Amino acid sequence: MPRRLPRCKVVTWFSALLLLALSFTAARIYVAFHLSDKYSLEGEAGNSSAEFLKEFVWPSNEPIVELALEIAKKPKIPPLLSNMRSIDESKLPYKCGIIFFYHIACTGGASMNHWLGKQVKHNGPHASYWTSWGRHDGRERKFIDGMNNQTKKIGPNEWRAVHAHGYSYFPNASEAYLYQWREEVESQGCAFVVTTMLRDAIGHTISQTKGMIKPNLTLDEFMSHMEPENYNQRGIFERGAFVTQLDYLLYNMGPRNEYNATKEEKVRRAVELLQRHFDVLLLSDYDRFTDIIHKITGWSPTTMKQANVFDGDLNYSYAELQKIKHLTEANGDTMFIDAVKHLYYGHLEHLVS
């Protein structure tokens, strides 16, 4: 005959399980809200302080350093739906403009980039494509000079697709240019549409580890720069070949987290950049991306085909997968994607309504 637990123990175990479930739910909700726990919902400017300027410092010889300093004084933006950029669908399609695609490695960006090039060819003489990227320091200056030209003299029915990738643009330090380029394009009566694609945080890290196969590195060697104490380092390759989504959005392929900011501050800053500048942000949603771009531009639709697909095998032990998970979380990427899911996809919204 099966042994029965005393009623008091059953209640105790049930209470413990219920408390554990509620704690997990609360922790998930906390991810979406704790980023603004130091800032009022009205976005008061009380924290545009020396700490903020230290993390996002600008070289004194930059031509738009005054604009950059003005931006540094802006209030920190709480992660709220009301602070997100939006597109007025009643005004679509826009007659002219620039699609600025910020390509984060291992998010399907190669497929999106090829598709943009295909769209330009498919939609005639009033569409063009431009990119300037590489794997060496100094590329950003060339990209900025090129972008300054791209934003000028846009035709009344012209669309220009711009692709920013490795070393071409560093959003964290060079944010002021996004303001400048948007102002220049919109002053011509055209649209400046900034977009990027993200994906599951741990899946992205696993995808990046394919880069350790050719040089025959161990997982410990490949991910050594991700250890929390190794901030201000690039990836195992001198050119910074392994960069998480959060770090790519902030630092591109440069050294990660030069001033040793907390993961909470990194996520807050990344969400702030998204809310200030990114008009179209999606999570592994390529059909929706093509549909949105078609509506914005009025281009004739074409399908997106996969590009740069890895067809090998990635095999890891349980301990190795736990390490990938731990370092991805410690860097702030899991928190970052959770915040994006909540803000842009209404994740867990039913629990806080």
pTM to 2 decimal places: 0.76
d(CA 166, CA 253): 6
Q: Would you call the peptide bond into 93 cis, given omega within 30 degrees of 0 as the criterion?
A: yes
Given a cut of 50, whether residue 53 has pLDDT beyond it is: no
- Find the range with the poorest average confidence among 14-23, 75-84, 229-238: 14-23
The residue ranking higher by pLDDT, 268 or 77, is: 268
pLDDT for 57 equals 38
Can you tell me whether residue 282 is helix, strand or coil? strand
The per-residue b/e assignment along 52-63, b for 16 or more CB within 10 angstroms, e otherwise, is: beebbebeeeee
Q: What angle do CA 251, 257, 261 make, to 5 degrees?
A: 130
- Among 31-45, 160-174, 294-308, 309-323, the minimum mean pLDDT is found in 31-45
pLDDT for 95 equals: 96
Token representation of residue 266: 């990194």
Nearest to 185 by CA among 159, 210, 206, 164: 159
* 235 pLDDT higher than 90: no
DSSP string over 21-58: HHHHHHHHHHHHHGGGTTS-TT--STT-SHHHHHHT--
**Chain segment 115-144, per-residue pLDDT in tens:** 999 999 898 889 999 998 877 777 899 999
Q: Which residue has the tokens 């070949």?
A: 241
Query: Mean of the per-residue pLDDT values for the chain?
Result: 77
- Residue pair 165/134 in contact (Cβ under 8 Å)? The answer is no
Start-end of H helices in 187-228: 201-208, 219-222
Report which of 318, 343, 266, 345 is spatially closest to residue 84, judged by C-alpha positions: 343
Q: Which of 35, 24, 28 lies closest to 263, judged by CA?
A: 35
Q: What is the arithmetic mean of pLDDT over 95-101?
A: 97
